Amino acid sequence: MVEPLKLKRQRIDAKPIKVKESEQSGYVAEVLVQTPVSFVEQIYSYAIPLVLSESAVVGSIVLIEYGRLKTKGLILSISRSSSVGKLKSIIQVIGVPGIIDDLTLKHFQSVRARFGGNLWNLIEAHLPPIPAKHRYTAKDPIKVSFKEETSFLQQTLNASDYLELSNQSTVRCAISQPQGLPPFTLLTEIVGLRVSKGTVLILVDNFREFDVIKKILQERFANSCICLDSRDSRSLRFNTFLDANMGTNQIILANRSGAFTRLPENASVIVVNDGDQSHYEQRSPGWNSRDVTLLRSSAISLIFYSAYHSLEIARLIDIKWLKKLSTREINNCSYHVLDGSKSYVSLIKKNIKNGNVLVSVAGKGYANIFLCSKCKNLVVCGCGGKLKIEKANTDPVCYLCKSVHKNWSCSFCSNNRPFVIDRGIDRTAEEIGRAVPGARVVVSQKDHLYEASDDFSIVVSTRGCEPYIDYAAVILLDCERIYNQPTLRAEEEAKRLWFDLITRVKNEGDVFISLQNNHPVTQQLLKRQNFNDVDLKNRLESKLPPYFRCAIVSGPKKDISIFAQNLKTEHSYLISGPIQISADKSYVVIRFEYSESSIVVELLDDIVKVQGVKGKDIFDVRFDPYEL
């Protein structure tokens, strides 16, 4: 006989576990149960056995029996009761007692009200894996010994902004690093200033950034920095998590999952590059570090640090909910454009004598698309797919069928010389190497990151893989290609990249922008306008984020079609779709005003619950996704 299927976390026992009444403490816990199905989440009563009377406190994660399954629960409240003999008992406490306090639970509830789903999605995002056997000794609160040096910040910030940042116990602001400073220098100074008021939590977007900031913080603040690194061993990660959530007046560095870290009053949260996709949770119903931070207690200071502010932060600045702190530029550099008098090759030759030169390109590969150099016809395979050249001196390969075209020649004119119209990073590096003989050319991309050294090199890099160093010159190539990607956030991503790279140029260095001088982005870069109300106006007129919230609902094609029709009939939301994903699956995009948030969240949650109860395929719901 075939055994029934079980979820990995389930364990089926033949007999329910019972504890004698004489072994009960006389207290009952109200427990939020992690049920086997995500759409069911309820509170049940469980007896607290005498042996757990001291550890089973409010906020503890416990192992319980739900039906005939063993699962986890969170103790919400405890009261004395005379009917404990009729209840199932808590089996054990997982981790340490009271691991989630009341303020953190309220924070979870606020996030859940905004993004839907259930609380266990958020609890599991917050808690690291808990080791079966662990030893943890609570440490004394870390006292950060930091001698405040105000001269740098006073020179960098406007006087009124400096006074607000240094004197106010609670601030809400956005700030950008000025040009010419080593990466994250201003961030480190702000951390030192705010830690005198209380704990500082820094949320960064990726591991490369995490490692760079970790090194800077540890050099500056010695052992006063706690790093929540998901790459650590299970035991170390859990102990570090406890240190971060139990201490006061400390510096905590974390990625996205650290957004829920328990913080005392007068703490500060600094979100670095909030517009980066890494700050967005991938699992349904989704959430992001920025919004989780914005939903914190009003006693917590909020600081958003980015070279170019996301449109969501720009809207909050525009409505005066956040204050934009102004910084003074501390160096000068020369800007050059595509229709200017100097080529980027001449700028590389000039500046390679003074330091490293960065060349930023759009993508990887060699010759991603090419034409016949004689008749200019697009080169395609017999199957209809386009051809690419993956490496120098190799035969073209088809994108679709992967067939190799040896001894290629044009089918129209028999010419065998390609004309590349989409250069990848390898081809660009090769051409620069020929144009600047004797210079060292290195490539930095996702599968091979270059760790910069002190020698003068030309670093050719794809987006997000640039070494965190200063440059004598920054060359921004493929700007039109990067800026005009067919995605909602393409322009925002491009500007954030370019503003970030420009801040790394040394004093008297050069910046080359491969756009015409009259291009709006060129003017924005030249004027250093990292806040642009034109972009906001366009989004408002189009009824798009950040002025409208969005929900993407996907599922079986037929069910989504019926759902979309009912939604259009009964509600006034802006509905796009159904849009087909595959032969049997599609999705709809729902846009709605902020005032309608609670109604839409509750509506979609109810639909998912009804589908689950009826045994239907459950819709996948995501609120405020990174991309539409």
| CA distance linking residue 101 with residue 190, whole number of Å | 28
Which of residues 534, 556, 577 is at a domain's end? Answer: 534
pLDDT at site 357: 93
pLDDT at 239 > cutoff 60: yes
Same structural domain, 94 and 158: no
Number of structural domains the chain divides into: 4
pLDDT at site 55: 87
CB 459 within 8 A of CB 453: no
Distance of CA 112 to the CA centre of its chain: 18
Residue whose C-alpha is closest to residue 139's, from 258, 249, 264: 249
Distance of CA 53 to the CA centre of its chain: 40
Query: SS3 breakdown of the chain: % helix, strand, coil, rounded to 5?
Result: 30, 25, 45
Which of residues 99, 127, 159 is at a domain's end? Answer: 99
pLDDT at site 5: 38
Same structural domain, 216 and 347: no
**161 belongs to a structural domain:** yes
Same structural domain, 352 and 489: yes
Residue ranges with strand state E in 400-548: 418-423, 441-444, 458-462, 471-476, 505-513
**112 belongs to a structural domain:** no
**144 belongs to a structural domain:** no
pLDDT digits (tens, 9 = 90+) for 290-303: 999 999 988 899 99
pLDDT at site 4: 42
DSSP letter at 154? Answer: H
pLDDT digits (tens, 9 = 90+) for 468-478: 888 999 999 98
Same structural domain, 87 and 62: yes
pLDDT at site 8: 41
pLDDT at 309 > cutoff 60: yes
| CA distance linking residue 63 with residue 93, whole number of Å | 6
Same structural domain, 176 and 297: yes
pLDDT digits (tens, 9 = 90+) for 361-412: 988 887 777 787 778 777 777 777 778 777 777 778 887 777 888 888 887 8
pLDDT digits (tens, 9 = 90+) for 123-154: 988 999 888 777 666 565 555 555 455 567 88
pLDDT digits (tens, 9 = 90+) for 213-232: 998 888 888 777 889 998 88
Q: How confident is the model at residue 260 (pLDDT cuts 50, 70, 90)?
A: very high
Q: What percent of the chain has pLDDT over 70?
A: 90
Same structural domain, 190 and 235: yes
**13 belongs to a structural domain:** no
Same structural domain, 399 and 530: yes
Mean pLDDT in residue range 269-298: 91
Same structural domain, 430 and 472: yes
For the record, the structure tokens of 36 come out as 């086997």
333 torsion bin: left (phi>0), alpha (psi -120 to 50), beta (else): beta
Q: What is the DSSP string of 49-66?
A: EGGGTTT--TT-EEEEEE
Whichever domain contains 301, its CATH number is 3.40.50.300
Strands 585-592 and 549-556 turn out to be antiparallel
CB 260 within 8 A of CB 103: no
**14 belongs to a structural domain:** no
Distances (CA, A) of 491 to 480, 482, 498: 10, 8, 11
| CA distance linking residue 553 with residue 563, whole number of Å | 10
Distance of CA 546 to the CA centre of its chain: 17
Whichever domain contains 434, its CATH number is 3.40.50
Q: What percent of the chain has pLDDT over 90?
A: 25
pLDDT at site 10: 41
Angle between helices 185-194 and 159-167 (to 10 degrees): 50
For the record, the structure tokens of 475 come out as 């060359």
Q: Which helix (H) or strand (E) holds 163?
A: helix 159-167
Same structural domain, 558 and 605: yes
Residue range(s) defining the domain that contains residue 619: 548-623
319-325 long-range CB contacts below 8 Å, 24 or more apart? 321/172, 322/172, 322/173, 322/174, 323/161, 323/164, 323/171, 323/172, 323/173, 323/174, 324/173, 324/174, 324/175, 324/531, 325/157, 325/158, 325/161, 325/164, 325/165, 325/173, 325/174, 325/175
CB 92 within 8 A of CB 286: no
**159 belongs to a structural domain:** yes
Which of residues 282, 297, 324 is at a domain's end? Answer: 324
pLDDT at 3 > cutoff 80: no
Pick 305 or 36 by higher pLDDT: 305
**581 belongs to a structural domain:** yes
Same structural domain, 318 and 460: no
pLDDT digits (tens, 9 = 90+) for 7-40: 344 444 444 455 555 566 678 889 999 886 666 6
User: Mapping DSSP to helix (H, G, I), strand (E, B) and coil, where does residue 238 land?
Assistant: helix
pLDDT digits (tens, 9 = 90+) for 444-468: 888 787 876 667 889 999 888 888 8
Same structural domain, 458 and 556: no
Average pLDDT across the chain, whole number: 84
pLDDT at 93 > cutoff 70: yes
Same structural domain, 217 and 175: yes
**451 belongs to a structural domain:** yes
- Among 252-256, 547-551, 603-607, which stretch is predicted with the lowest mean pLDDT? 603-607
Alpha helices in 178-284 (DSSP H): 185-194, 207-221, 234-246
